[in-house]
A and B are shown apart, each in its own frame.
Chain A
Amino acid sequence: MTRRFWVFIEQNHGEMHPVAAELLGVANCLVSEVADELKASGEEAVVEGILVGHDVDNVAKEALMYGAERIYHVDDPAFEHYLNRPYTEALTHLVEKYKPEVFLIGATTLGRDLAGAVATSIKTGLTADCTKLEMGPFRKIEKKLLLATRPAFGGNVIATIVCKDHTPQMATVRPRVFETPVRNPKAKGEIIQESFEVTPEMMAAQLVEFINDQTTNLNLEYAEVIVSGGKGLGNSKGFELIKELADELGGVVGSSRAAVDGGWIDYAHQVGQTGKHVRPKLYVACGISGAIQHKVGMQDSDYILAINTDPQAPIFEVSTLGVVGDLYEVIPEMIKQLRAQKGASA
């Protein structure tokens, strides 16, 4: 028997969502974690991508480059825009046909809408917003299971969930929780066209109009430099200073939830458990205390600089470097020195 590790290849308007590549990377790790079992049983394990859409062959090819061995592709004009019902029915059909062991879906707006419906329709377990995934032993069960770890109770508890008697074992993962694997343009693999009939009943809800709104599309998750402001700014005007430093460093503006709740900045900027998960090369946290829910969203950043008046602030526990001082003094001085350096090297 082939052990199938599936990844839903999310695409929007013909472009692959980067979370799909991240999940293909994870799926390949999971397969390597059962290598010992495969050796013993003589079975094989494969990473396969599931692609639903219309005229998106380019996405199928892209997914192969990120580590899928095979893509099952359902193509129909009805799939041009995402809709819960037909997508759910198509995935249910494929799962019943191929019986994958593990099925991973990105915890995006689309993926969350889809995953809950698919898991229910197949009657299996689903663990949402996982921050760690591994194949490991559980009790006396013969085969390793998917151990899905996620924060619970507002991030105060970290729980590991298993789904022991049902397949596929399903999990969703937010963008950027895992690293993007290396893209291999020479990768070869199979693209298999699957047929699926969309009935009128599945099309009871339809898209009438799409209103593109770029202001909510900051791409915060994929920024290399982020400068974030929190409650310590004291007011919305403080974000002008944050923006100035972000511009100086070539980055984008992030924030804590307290700043969003205060109405100082739009939710699209929020970093953390209920905001975006980020992993920039440089993260500067200004006037942010470092509550657990903020930390889980940014602690994967390569380099973290925190500026806070309180030397005991928990943010320093995840920082690379901390400056204890008033951000209204430190940031302007920083901008000044950075500009002077640029002037000197130019």
Chain B
Amino acid sequence: MIHLLVSVKQVPDTTNIRIDPETGSMIRKGVPAILNPYDAHAVASAAEWKKKLGGKLTVVTMGPPAAEEALQECIEMGADRAVLVSDRAFAGSDTLATSYVLAEAIRKIDQEDHVDMVFFGKQAIDGDTAQVGPGVAIRLGLPLVTYAVEIQDINEEEGYALIIRKTESGKEIIKTKLPAALTAEKAIADIPYAALPDLITSLKYKPEVWSAQEPVAYDVAQIGLEGSPTMVAKSGSPEAHEPAETISVEENGLAGAVETALGKMLSNTSVAALLEDQQ
């Protein structure tokens, strides 16, 4: 029986973010929270493999009580068990502290029921740091395959997986021993429509909520603000710029506007030199 685990995060939908122009901080009110899109694809992939091989799929998140919704969504996609690690003591955790919290939670789950593969999203769209996956993997001593676009094979019997990852210059096929960790690109799997039985299960399902003491007794020095080496020194809105000189086609006619624009552009010596080299 294969046991797959996905670490998921609930994030504000950054496409809808509004910023308070006075303080430069995010207005959280009214911003919908969603399951991090990359994580959703990771869950979809894990659910596919669970179906294919037969086994179990667990999802885990660290977050506020409301993150339960994100877990519910994972149950809809076929997860069997969901763990919400939630405690005020975790507030203010940066990626180092987050990776500690998740690693210990995963270690606990693994002790009860051996985990073969841990999935992460490529990155969370609120911070875009892509640090938590590698951080948890190194804490657990797992081999790591980042930017995974396809799982070719998971061979439980022989204890390995074949995973394709994407890099700037091409693709790499990686053979990793199990247990292993991966971070997923969206390409790893399409998000399916929820199956009716899973939908019904999810409606009734309540995730397990773990605190900072139970069932894992966390070291307070490694969590929350105290356990986070990085801190925000200041934040604000991006710099504003003066609008550029514009030439209007309506006012100058097409040929005239383009002629003026090209004239100005080529009076810039560096641009002129570039275009000269061209000929």
Contacts and interface: CB of A to CB of B under 8 A. Distances in A.
A162 B231 contact: yes
A128 B131 contact: yes
Contact of B126 (A12, A126, A153): A153
A211 interface: yes
Given A120-B139, A160-B233, A210-B171, A321 B134 contact: no
Contacts, number: 282
The 8 closest A-B pairs by CB, nearest first: A325-B249, A125-B229, A116-B131, A116-B134, A154-B14, A205-B143, A120-B135, A322-B246
B190 interface: no
B interface SS class:
mixed
Contact of A126 (B17, B230, B246, B270): B230
A1 interface: no
9 contacts: A84-B146, A113-B144, A161-B230, A163-B230, A213-B169, A217-B169, A224-B274, A304-B244, A346-B279
A162 B230 contact: yes
A36 to B, nearest CB: 20
B203 interface: no
Nearest to B261: A323
B238 A292 contact: yes
Given A125-B229, A210-B171, A330-B257, A317 B242 contact: yes
A192 interface: no
Contacts of B258: 323, 330, 333-334, 337
A28 interface: no
Contacts of A306: 244
Interface in A290-323: 292, 295-296, 299, 302-306, 311, 316-323
A282 interface: yes
Given A159-B235, A163-B229, A325-B248, A250 B131 contact: no
Most buried by B among A112, A163, A210: A112
A279 to B, nearest CB: 13
B111 interface: no
A217 B249 contact: no
A281 B271 contact: yes
B137 interface: yes
A43 B271 CA distance: 45
Interface stretch (B54-62, B66-74, B94-102): B94-102
A29 interface: no
B229 to A, nearest CB: 3
Nearest to A317: B241
A205 B170 CA distance: 18
A interface SS class:
mixed
Nearest to A139: B233
Given A117-B137, A152-B127, A324 B233 contact: no
A336 to B, nearest CB: 8
A96 interface: no
A208 B254 contact: no
A93 interface: no
Interface of A: 12, 81, 84-85, 88, 108-110, 112-117, 119-121, 123-129, 138, 147, 151-166, 204-214, 216-217, 224-225, 249-250, 273-274, 281-282, 292, 295-296, 299, 302-306, 311, 316-326, 329-330, 333-334, 337-338, 341-342, 345-346
B268 A303 contact: yes
Interface string B223-241: 0000011111111111111
Contacts of A342: 279
Interface stretch (B2-10, B84-92, B174-182, B192-200): B174-182
Given A119-B95, A321-B247, 13 more contacts: A108-B168, A109-B167, A110-B167, A120-B135, A125-B230, A128-B131, A157-B236, A204-B176, A205-B145, A206-B176, A210-B171, A249-B274, A317-B242
Contacts of B274: 224-225, 249-250, 281-282
Interface string B134-169: 111111000111110000000000000010001111
Contacts of B135: 116-117, 119-120
A109 B168 contact: yes
Most buried by B among A88, A153, A159: A153
B214 interface: no
A175 B230 CA distance: 23
Contact of B134 (A84, A160, A204): A84
A124 B96 contact: yes
Nearest to A84: B144
Contact of A330 (B126, B174, B249, B268): B249
Contact of B138 (A120, A129, A138, A162): A120
B232 A161 contact: yes
